[in-house]
């Protein structure tokens, strides 16, 4: 069994009441109140406004006006860049308060969230740098009579919809790039973890972002998400969440042919060859599967092990799993926190039970942990999984590792690719031929070689197949929030169509 850290009651808890940010003002909603019960502590920690379509309409109208007539899109790149740098500094200065909300509302280990906040600050700074470098192209090669100039223009109003598992990090993968391009936005965080995004609203105002440029509304997808993805005054939707809602988003946006950027689910394989460094791999396997309680789009939830080392690799991973510290999200020592809701806990444990019923075995863990409050699950290793089982194909989104085996590189690549998802993958081998052979043939947006889940603001991130559409981060991230316009300019006398005949 893993090491357990029983949650302590939250000291001096005062339930935080939040309003929404619309057109530069904090305001109530029309749909009542949403209460957030902390998944690790079982008590209400936040109350948000439940927005209605009326509220969403107000937010979209404010963003539209700010884009059509406001100062933000008309500023120089340098001015926008300086504002984004001020936001980054404010995030860094308020990191502890922001981290507390993500830890408590999403059940994430506080030490891990502090790392995510550091990553978010870096992304805001990177976007600030790109704001000054956004440019188009010129063509001076079209003959004496023509000069072609290709402009990059801000696309307009962007709806940004985010999930609960990395509340602050994911809004930071979208909003600063949209702002760098000169767009305005309506942001809707998950109704389960809206606190840190609402706190960001306060920092944006403090940094000098003009009223209406960023509007933050809270509520369910059913109440306001649909309108945010279909409204004719919205030009683009940037969505991160489940593949099911991603498809719905694309359908809604198709009515008005909005640009859509989708970051969706994953079923990410790690392929391990017989010559891999098993000590390093075992550590990465445990990290990849149990980080964020496996509630991670990038979770390395499928191990595809060469048959000759499978037994030893599973034994090493089980030994490390017993050292993982599960429990109180607010304890500095915790590595795996709580499961987001009781309903989601049931979904994860049902997946494990179904795998057992289908003939798989449990090599470690397997069920819930009673820590006196909240809902927690033991890191779990399911062995003897075959590619046809649901646990090998569907996103479980919990601390559950499925283990499959292979004999040849071709077979490993086939198993890796034979699912609907294609977000990321890992390959472990001392031989470059194995790493590159797999790396080039696996259909995934990111392939790690002899490491797992590393990232940087400079490196694009996104999925193949049903893991998404488009890429975030990287030097092209700002361009995603632009339209392309051609200026075709004539020089000198024009040879006319009619006169020549």
- Give the Å distances, CA to CA, from 246 to 285, 309, 467: 28, 38, 9
List, in sequence order, the alpha helices (H) in 258-341.
278-290, 310-321
Indicate which single residue of 147, 211, 248, 354 sits in contact with ligand NAD (rule: CB under 6 A).
248
Distance between CA 473 and CA 228 in Å, rounded? Answer: 23
Helix (H, G, I), strand (E, B) or coil at 328: coil
Asked if residue 261 binds ligand NAD (CB under 6 A), the reply is no
Q: Which residues contact 370 (CB under 8 A, 6 or more apart)?
A: none
Asked if residue 264 binds ligand NAD (CB under 6 A), the reply is yes
**Least CB distance from residue 239 to ligand NAD, whole Å?**
7
The answer to whether 38 touches 6, Cβ cutoff 8 Å, is no
Distance between CA 253 and CA 105 in Å, rounded? Answer: 30
* Torsion 476-478-479-480 (CA) sign: positive
Distance between CA 359 and CA 86 in Å, rounded? Answer: 56
Choice between 94 and 242, CB closer to ligand NAD: 242
Find the part of the chain contacting ligand NAD (CB under 6 A) among 17-25, 127-135, 262-270, 485-493. Answer: 262-270
Asked if residue 48 binds ligand NAD (CB under 6 A), the reply is no
Find the part of the chain contacting ligand NAD (CB under 6 A) among 75-83, 116-124, 126-134, 261-269. Answer: 261-269
Asked if residue 82 binds ligand NAD (CB under 6 A), the reply is no
Find the part of the chain contacting ligand NAD (CB under 6 A) among 3-11, 20-28, 239-247, 301-309. Answer: 239-247
**Least CB distance from residue 217 to ligand NAD, whole Å?**
11
Asked if residue 40 binds ligand NAD (CB under 6 A), the reply is no
Asked if residue 341 binds ligand NAD (CB under 6 A), the reply is no
Choice between 188 and 316, CB closer to ligand NAD: 188
Residue pointed to by tokens 């003002």: 25
**Least CB distance from residue 339 to ligand NAD, whole Å?**
12
Choice between 83 and 238, CB closer to ligand NAD: 238
Find the part of the chain contacting ligand NAD (CB under 6 A) among 148-156, 244-252, 253-261, 492-500. Answer: 244-252
Asked if residue 125 binds ligand NAD (CB under 6 A), the reply is no
Active-site residue (options: 263, 295, 395, 472): 263
Contacts of ligand NAD in 417-476 (CB under 6 A): 423, 463, 468
List, in sequence order, the alpha helices (H) in 132-208.
167-172, 175-181, 195-207
**Least CB distance from residue 472 to ligand NAD, whole Å?**
7
Told to judge if 263 belongs to the known catalytic residues of this protein, a careful annotator would answer: yes
3-state helix, strand, coil in the chain (%, to 5): 40, 25, 40
Token pair in block for residue 81: 């860049």
Choice between 161 and 286, CB closer to ligand NAD: 161
Token pair in block for residue 354: 């179904």
Choice between 328 and 472, CB closer to ligand NAD: 472
**Least CB distance from residue 222 to ligand NAD, whole Å?**
6
Q: Which residues contact 157 (CB under 8 A, 6 or more apart)?
A: 60, 63, 64, 67, 183, 184, 185, 186, 233, 234, 235, 236
* Torsion 36-38-43-46 (CA) sign: negative
Helix (H, G, I), strand (E, B) or coil at 246: helix
DSSP letter assigned to residue 31: S
The answer to whether 195 touches 18, Cβ cutoff 8 Å, is yes
Choice between 2 and 197, CB closer to ligand NAD: 197
Bridge partners of 406? 306
Choice between 216 and 416, CB closer to ligand NAD: 216
**Interface map 135-174 toward ligand NAD (x if CB under 6 A):** --------------------------xxxxxx---x----
Distance between CA 338 and CA 375 in Å, rounded? Answer: 6
**Least CB distance from residue 241 to ligand NAD, whole Å?**
3
Indicate which single residue of 73, 107, 167, 221 sits in contact with ligand NAD (rule: CB under 6 A).
221
Indicate which single residue of 395, 409, 452, 469 sits in contact with ligand NAD (rule: CB under 6 A).
395
Nearest to 256 by CA among 163, 184, 159: 159
What's CA 315's distance to the chain center, in Å? Answer: 32
Indicate which single residue of 196, 240, 331, 383 sits in contact with ligand NAD (rule: CB under 6 A).
240
Token pair in block for residue 134: 């956004």
Q: List residues with catalytic annotation.
A: 263
Which residues make up the interface to ligand NAD (CB under 6 A)?
Answer: 161-166, 170, 188, 190-191, 220-222, 225-226, 229, 240-242, 245, 248-249, 263-266, 297, 395, 397, 423, 463, 468
């Amino acid at each position: 069994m893993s090491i357990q850290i029983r949650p302590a009651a939250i000291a001096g808890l005062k339930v935080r009441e939040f309003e929404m940010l619309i057109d530069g003002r904090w305001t109530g909603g029309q749909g009542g109140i949403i209460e957030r019960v902390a998944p690790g502590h079982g008590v209400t920690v936040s109350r948000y406004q439940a927005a209605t379509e009326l509220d969403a309409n107000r937010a979209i109208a404010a963003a539209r006006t700010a884009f059509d007539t406001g100062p933000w899109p008309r500023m120089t790149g340098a001015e926008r860049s300086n504002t984004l740098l001020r936001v980054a500094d404010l995030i860094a200065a308020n990191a502890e308060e922001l981290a507390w909300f993500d830890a408590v509302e999403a059940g994430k280990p506080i030490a891990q969230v502090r790392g995510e906040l550091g990553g978010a600050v870096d992304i805001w700074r990177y976007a600030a740098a790109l704001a000054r470098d956004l440019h188009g192209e010129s063509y001076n090669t079209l003959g004496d009579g023509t000069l072609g100039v290709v402009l990059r223009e801000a696309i307009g109003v962007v709806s940004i919809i985010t999930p609960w598992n990395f509340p602050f990090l994911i809004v930071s993968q979208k909003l600063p790039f949209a702002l760098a391009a000169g767009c305005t936005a309506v942001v809707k965080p998950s109704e389960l973890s809206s606190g840190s995004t609402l706190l960001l609203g306060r920092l944006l105002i403090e940094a000098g972002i003009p009223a209406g440029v960023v509007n933050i509304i809270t509520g369910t997808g059913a109440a306001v998400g649909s309108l945010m993805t279909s409204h004719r005054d919205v030009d683009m939707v940037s969505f991160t969440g489940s593949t099911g809602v991603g498809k719905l988003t694309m359908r809604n946006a198709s009515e008005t042919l909005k640009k859509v950027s989708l970051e969706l689910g994953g079923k990410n394989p790690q392929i391990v060859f017989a010559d891999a460094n098993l000590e390093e791999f075992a550590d990465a396997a445990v990290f990849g599967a149990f980080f964020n309680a496996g509630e991670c789009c990038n979770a390395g939830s499928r191990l595809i092990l060469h048959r000759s080392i499978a037994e030893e690799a599973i034994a090493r991973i089980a030994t490390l799993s017993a050292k993982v510290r599960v429990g109180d999200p607010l304890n500095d020592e915790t590595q795996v926190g709580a499961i987001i809701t009781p309903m989601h806990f049931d979904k994860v444990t049902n997946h494990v039970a179904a795998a057992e019923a289908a003939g798989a075995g449990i090599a470690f863990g397997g069920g819930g942990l009673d820590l006196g409050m909240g809902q927690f699950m033991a890191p779990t290793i399911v062995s003897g999984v075959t590619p046809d089982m649901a646990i090998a194909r569907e996103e479980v989104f919990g601390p559950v590792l499925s283990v499959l085996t292979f004999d040849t590189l071709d077979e490993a690549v086939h198993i890796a690719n034979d699912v609907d998802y294609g977000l990321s993958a890992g390959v472990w081998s001392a031989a470059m031929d194995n790493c590159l052979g797999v790396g080039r043939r696996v259909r995934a947006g990111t392939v790690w070689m002899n490491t797992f889940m590393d990232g940087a603001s400079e490196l694009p991130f996104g999925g193949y197949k049903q893991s998404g559409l488009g890429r975030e981060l990287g030097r092209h991230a700002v361009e995603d929030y632009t339209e392309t316009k051609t200026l075709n300019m004539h020089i000198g006398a024009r040879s006319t169509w009619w006169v020549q005949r």
